Structure 1
Amino acid sequence: MTTTALDLIKRAMSKLNVLQAGETPSADDVAIGLDALNTLMLSLENEGIFNYTATRTTATLPASTSSRTIGPAMQIAMTRPVKLLRGSYSRVDGVDYPLDPISEAEYNEISLKTGVSSVVPSVCFYDGGSPTGVVYFWPVPTGSVELHLLSPAPGGVATSSVTEYTFPPGYKRMIENGLALELAPDFNVPPNPMVSAMYASEKRAIRRANRVIPQLDMCEMTSVASDFYAGQ
């Protein structure tokens, strides 16, 4: 569903009973609404609410290189991502290899971070600093590698009241209710408990819809015969 920043602001103000049907918000109210909308969208982005689609970014990892900066105008040039997603991969000579994101704790458990090399890295750790992040790769590639990184699509910053958004079903009403809660203090209106409950319920529904059940990777060497009843 396509809507505009102004439509979202008007709907949120109407939920607060500070804008009646047919009325147009003042320029000052629109400015307040845009600021609140952008704050809300960044918060939802950090929560992973926009995981319904992914952004694919292509970059180069030079030979014998273990890390790259990531962010606007950085070595991996893109909007600073919240995280990197499974499904990322590296490509060498037309062959694709999985590149699995791991946590900081998992990365810290790798004792030889620079003393091991391979044709391609198999894992990466994203240190999401602000405004610039760093992606660490392991093992270190022996040659140049083409990276294909997947990250959640950003929610989008409204630069003006006519900024357009296209949302899947359920998102528009969730954002309207969330924006109403963001704007309530600006208009000296107490948060509406019904709006608050609807917002929480809609976020839960969207999280369930976007949830991806992880697949368990099992090494063939661990798939040995066992006797369940004997406890072996």
Structure 2
Amino acid sequence: MMIFPISFIFFLTLSSSYASVQDFCVADYTAPQGPAGYSCKIPANITVDDFVYTGLGVAANTSNINNVGITPAFSAQFPGLNGLGLSLLRADFAVGGVSPIHVHRGASELILVVEGTIIAGFIDSNNKVYLKSLKKGDTMILPQGLLHFQKNGGDTPALLFAAFNSENPGVQLLEIALFQSDFPTELIAQTTLLDTAQIKKLKGLLGGTN
């Protein structure tokens, strides 16, 4: 019979205990959220359902100003992603649908076209535009922190999935930042060279003030 040293058995016990704590950090939505993300759920309360998300199988509502429906699977919706550094979303584009110019400060975005035609592009720090019409099965990488967009480039609905190298990539839409805020109209005009009347029209449309 093989006899293991006490130190070896202790090491195995310690390693097993340590791994059970460090394997994952399922988001606890009932606890305070800090700068590093959600607090970890108590291991005894974790179930397999924390690691499964079914929301991406249903088309999102595209009845909005941009004719695009977004279904995220970020840590806020999918607790098992917390701390793992990746996430997904589904984007449904009606005919004419546009995901307006926006930026993800916390992640790069890899898109996969599943149905239809998507025109996608981004602008680099030297103001060079990278633009491509994508068809079913095509993928495109949109680097972290750069302005980018997607739009339906065909005459039928389109669908894409996007993967991010963060469980919470964050998003800031340029049109929302300018026209759904209290950023003074005159300052927007001076800093963007946009026409004041057009700015007021867009603020009225999107709910901005001043």
TM-score by length of 1: 0.27
